[in-house]
Amino acid sequence: MASLIVTPGERIAHAADYEASSGTYERDEYVYASVVGEKRELPPPAGGMRPLIQVHRKKETSAIPEIHSIVTGKVVRVKPREATVSILVVGNVPVRESFQGIIRLQDVRATERDKVQMYKSFRPGDIVRLASFAEMEIEGTWG
Amino acid sequence: MSRFDIVSPEGLRVDGRRPPELRRLSCRTGVFAQADGSAYIEQGNTKCLVAVYGPREPSKRLLTEKGPTINVEYNVASFSSGERKTKMRKDRRLMEIASVIKQTFEPIICYGQNVASRSEIDVNIQILQLDGGALHAAINATTLAMIDAGVPMRDFVCACSAGWYKDTALLDLNHLEESADVPTLTVGLLPKSGKVTLLSLESRLHLDKFQSVLELASQGCERMRDELDSTIRKATQELAKTAL
């Protein structure tokens, strides 16, 4: 158990044998740990050749929305061209401090984008499920 | 000539150490429940407390090109040193030290995977007792607190100071030595790659002496790393025990 715990900057594997995953980084043909935690090996992802290597933190940090993650939030402000959302859940994990997201007018739905009216689509207090597709910009679907 | 010698004829310093010796070091992580990461460090009589909040969403929209923003607040308690000082509202000196610490940590934070590149990390540093080497104590404590907060970093940052007096290089100067015309060099090192992220010298030091002072400070950093590493390992194992 003790030998599995690694600290930042510790060399944990050859980059040729493993693919760097969360909690690690790659430099000069080696994979290094970037957080303190337990070293874990995971089977290669679909289409991948090398197994993944990650460092798993015991103490969980707050979830952070990333690009393409599914988030759930509450509409806090509606403007003619955009709605502001306070993100409460990322995937299945509630965040400790809420993040701000924006639903732009052109991203509300896939068809008839020019006929969307923000006031008819959202009201403050609505709970929405969204796919984030750029940092600080979020594409919306009804939830 | 001062009233006492910085190094006695027997080769001992004012606090009884030999020139290449560090002061007693003790550190602890996870001292606050409220903060995401925190650390407390005691190096001799210098005591420093650090709390790290984040990575979290920036409070104001900051347009940085890449990498998270680090806000450092460096504070020295008014009761920390021999004579009590009334605090000025905007102390240039403290702001300078804060920006030095910010610059030390900026290049070593990994961003992209977990830390969104536009997030913000707040670092609050409080010096509780000042007996020389406040800068390197603050940096070492910040390293521990950052690791405790789970901020991905390329390596530890270990800092240590060294000076030159007469013909010897002195490691880890205390307040008496720092204030007695000993040039003090503070080095921040990434021990694994041997890269230097911080080098600060506030008085003049002859170039011929520089190499040996830098080497001694680097050795101090290496020892500091072992100490910080064992602290982190111990804290993690204790955490693992409570989790099971």
Enumerate domains of chain B plus CATH numbers. 25-243 (3.30.230.70)
- Closest by Cβ to A135, choosing from B116, B190, B192: B116
Cα separation, A94 vs A15, in Å, equals 33
Task: Report strand pairing: B168-171 vs B184-190.
Answer: unpaired
- Structural domain boundaries of chain A? 2-56, 70-141
Question: Does A8 sit within 8 Å of B154, measured CB to CB?
Answer: yes
A70-141 is classed CATH 2.40.50.140: yes
Query: Which of the residues A3, A5, A19, A35 would you substitute to probe the B interface, choosing the one with the greatest number of B C-beta atoms within 10 Å?
Result: A35
Query: Which of the residues A21, A22, A36 would you substitute to probe the B interface, choosing the one with the greatest number of B C-beta atoms within 10 Å?
Result: A36
Token duo for residue A3? 């030998």
Token duo for residue A106? 């052109």
As to burial, measured by CB atoms within 10 angstroms (0-12 exposed, 13-18 middle, 19+ buried), residue A3 is exposed
Question: Does A62 sit within 8 Å of B56, measured CB to CB?
Answer: yes
- Closest by Cβ to A9, choosing from B148, B154, B237: B154
Question: Which chain A positions have a beta carbon within 8 Å of B236's beta carbon?
Answer: 5, 36-37, 58
- Closest by Cβ to A5, choosing from B57, B153, B236: B236
Give me the interface pTM, i.e. the ipTM: 0.74
Count other C-beta atoms under 10 Å from residue A49's C-beta.
7
- Closest by Cβ to A58, choosing from B57, B149, B239: B239
Question: Does A2 sit within 8 Å of B150, measured CB to CB?
Answer: no
Counting one residue from A and one from B, how many pairs have CB atoms under 8 Å apart?
84
Among A36-50, B144-158, B180-194, the range scoring the smallest mean pLDDT is A36-50
Among B86-95, B173-182, B200-209, the range scoring the smallest mean pLDDT is B86-95
pLDDT at A143: 38
Longest dimension (CA), chain B: 61
Please state the φ and ψ torsions of residue B197, each to the nearest 5 degrees. Answer: -105, -15
Distance in Å, alpha carbon of A99 to nearest chain B alpha carbon: 6
Please report where in the chains the tokens 């597709």 appear, as a residue: A133
Question: Does B57 sit within 8 Å of A99, measured CB to CB?
Answer: yes
Mean pLDDT of B77-98: 82
Query: Which of the residues B155, B157, B158 would you substitute to probe the A interface, choosing the one with the greatest number of A C-beta atoms within 10 Å?
Result: B155
Cα separation, B153 vs B108, in Å, equals 6
pLDDT at B127: 94
pLDDT at A138: 47
Q: Give domain A2-56's CATH architecture.
A: Beta Barrel (2.40)
Question: Which chain B positions have a beta carbon within 8 Å of A11's beta carbon?
Answer: 192
Question: Does B233 sit within 8 Å of A8, measured CB to CB?
Answer: no
Q: Categorize the per-residue pLDDT at A3 as very low, low, confident or very high, splitting at 50, 70 and 90.
A: low
Do A2-56 and A70-141 share a fold? yes
Q: Is B79 a residue whose pLDDT tops 90?
A: no
pLDDT at A104: 84
- Closest by Cβ to B114, choosing from A32, A64, A99: A64
Q: What is the pLDDT of residues A87-109, one digit of tens each?
A: 888 888 888 777 788 888 888 88
pTM of the predicted protein model:
0.80
Q: List beta partners, residue A141.
A: A129
Cα separation, A37 vs B240, in Å, equals 10
